[in-house]
Structure 1
Amino acid sequence: MANLGPTDSSIHTFTTDRKRWKNLKEFARDNHKQPTPAEAQLWQALRGNQLGPRFRRQHAIADYIVDFVCLPAWLVVEVDGEIHQKPEAVEYDGGRTHALQECGFLVVLYPNEAVLQRLPEVLADIERHVKLLMG
């Protein structure tokens, strides 16, 4: 996928193509309906433009469904549990991160425990990234 970069005006419609969406939509809908406790807690803090720009959850970008994305800032936020420590998950996550970076996104990862136990710190870090990326 071509690097659209943070200056591309098409970001407001950036997602994935129809063929990819056909394969991803069921997974995205399931994740949307059944978030992990950490994802649900973080969403309550991000929804409704509480940090300024709009965040989306379970959003398709290229071949992936990301937990959260702030399209105007080109920021992807992933909340990862213990399953992401398995070797095959580490490899998959690395490929996903690389692909998203190639599209122009900054990807930040937070463990479930950080979101559940230190939400104000996580939000401050996300807000810092948004401000840096949006200038």
Structure 2
Amino acid sequence: MQNQSTPNAQKNARVLRREMTDSERKLWSGLRSEQLGVKLRRQHPLGNHIADFACLDPKLIVEMDGSQHQVQESYDARRDAFLRERGFEVLRFGSNDPFVNFEGVLQAIVNRLAELKAACPHPNLPPEGEGAKSRSYP
């Protein structure tokens, strides 16, 4: 299943990147530049949906839920199902969490990334000599 996004979602994602919430900005300060050992994207479009933060390998979505999510539980459930069908796992945090427990939120993300990586190890590299070129380093 492809993770193609719609042109409308791409346009909306650009706007959301410029207008991140304070909690998204705070969390992004700990996620950007591969600080956790993986590349995360902010406001990443997937289909008609936009993930607050997405790691494409391993497949993890991190969502910051504000008060509006209390009244849109059925929408969130459909959206999570859409993402799970595409192989993503979704972690949700309250919008206040990065301010009251920043390190705890980052640690929860690191832990889940480690679990996902362990569950889907990369294929083994070929043994030395099979397609490998010898290299000398200065």
Between the two proteins, what is the percent identity of the paired residues?
34
Equivalent residues in 2 for 1:44-55, closer than 5 Å: 44-55=29-40
Partner of 1:125: 108
User: Superposition RMSD on alpha carbons, in Å?
Assistant: 1.2
Whether 1:97 aligns to 2:80 is: yes
Post-superposition shift, 1:30?
Answer: 1.4
In 1: Cα distance, 2:98 partner to 2:3 partner: 26
Equivalent residues in 2 for 1:1-135, closer than 5 Å: 2=1, 15-17=3-5, 20=6, 22-86=7-71, 89-135=72-118
1:83 alignment partner, SS class: helix
Letter in 1 for 2:65: D
Post-superposition shift, 1:23?
Answer: 1.5
Post-superposition shift, 1:54?
Answer: 0.6
Q: Aligned residue pairs: how many? A: 118
Post-superposition shift, 1:90?
Answer: 1.2
- Large movers: runs of 4+ above 3 Å: none
Post-superposition shift, 1:16?
Answer: 1.5
2:87 alignment partner, SS class: coil
The structure with more radius of gyration:
2
Post-superposition shift, 1:25?
Answer: 2.1
In 1: Cα distance, 2:19 partner to 2:63 partner: 16
Higher helix share: 1
In 2: Cα distance, 1:74 partner to 1:81 partner: 23
In 2: Cα distance, 1:15 partner to 1:65 partner: 11
Q: Check conservation: 2:26, 2:98, Cα contact below 8 A.
A: yes
* TM-score normalized with structure 1 length: 0.83
Letter in 2 for 1:110: F
Q: Check conservation: 1:15, 1:59, Cα contact below 8 A.
A: no
1:51 alignment partner, SS class: coil
Partner of 1:6: none
* TM-score normalized with structure 2 length: 0.81
**Residue ranges of structure 1 left out of the alignment (5+ in a row):** 3-13
Letter in 2 for 1:85: Q
